[in-house]
Structure 1
Amino acid sequence: MQQIRQRLSIIEMELRSELAALAPEWQALLLSDVIEQMASHDMCHHALYSKLVRLDAALCQLDIGLYGLCSDCEADIEAERLSADPTEQRCHHCDDQYNLQHRQELRLSH
């Protein structure tokens, strides 16, 4: 778990570097407060926002002992998915279903 926490810390430092260019005044805020600030400034569609939300979720899951479980079906997320992206929230099957549903929603909204 320590290795995972270190990887997540590195990701947080990288994302905070991106944040510095976007809103340097938010640098010292807690991750959850940064997310809240972005949401209140209508920045939910910014790529950094979704990365921060995923990171925050992964850190919370790690803290409560649920890291590595799919947020949809609660099955183990494949090790190779977590290795590629330690903030991954879904197993391969649920991620495919989510992406399919999201694409359909985008078509319906246009």
Structure 2
Amino acid sequence: MSRSHIRHELSELEANLRKELGALLRLNHLSIDCESLSLSSLIDELTAAKLCDEPLFLKLTQLDAAMCQLDIDLYGLCSDCESEIEQQRIDANPLEQRCAQCAADHEHEHRQELRLTH
């Protein structure tokens, strides 16, 4: 997949997430200009509004990471082991940050942490 195609796909995803965010902001009676703010500024505003627990917040942070990775030619590399992320994982989720093995390891560690804290 070409870099321009990936950027186009991520831009389409960004537009959709911004629309979803507009609905979330209206629901919470917040007036954040989600159309003109940069992704990082938008993430800062959502943090200040205490909306970090929203699934949409996670998607926006993943999108921001993917865009940054694309800018520095690291898109498609695992954030843990730096191996290439399997193409089917990227096709299923263009915001994927981990290869299958590291994702499984991360999930296992996260479940262990949850057991220890509860």
Instruction: Provide the TM-score with structure 2 as the length reference.
Output: 0.88
2:44 to 13, 29, 36: 36
1:84 Cα shift?
0.8
CA–CA distance in structure 1, aligned partners of residues 46 and 108 of structure 2: 27
Which residue is equivalent to 1:18? 20
What displacement does 1:39 show?
1.6
The structure richer in helix per residue is 1
Question: Over residues 18-72 of structure 1, what are the superposed CA-to-partner deviations in whole Å (9 max), with x where a residue is unaligned?
Answer: 1101225231211001111112222221101100010000000000111000000
Task: Give the counterpart letter for 1:2 in structure 2.
Answer: S
Query: Which residue, out of 78, 91, 94, partners 2:102?
Result: 94
Q: What runs of 5+ residues in structure 2 fail to find an aligned partner?
A: 26-30
Alignment equivalent of 2:91, drawn from 75, 83, 102: 83
Q: Partner of 2:81: helix, strand, or coil?
A: coil
Q: TM-score, normalised by structure 1?
A: 0.94
Higher CA-based Rg: 2
Q: Partner amino acid for 1:25?
A: I
* Identity rate, percent: 50
Which residue is 1:7 aligned to? 9
Q: Give the conservation status (yes or no) of the 8 Å contact 2:86–2:100.
A: yes
Gap regions ≥5 residues in structure 1: none
Question: How many pairs align?
Answer: 110
Aligned residue number for residue 62 of structure 2: 54
Measured on the aligned residues, the alpha-carbon RMSD in Å equals: 1.1
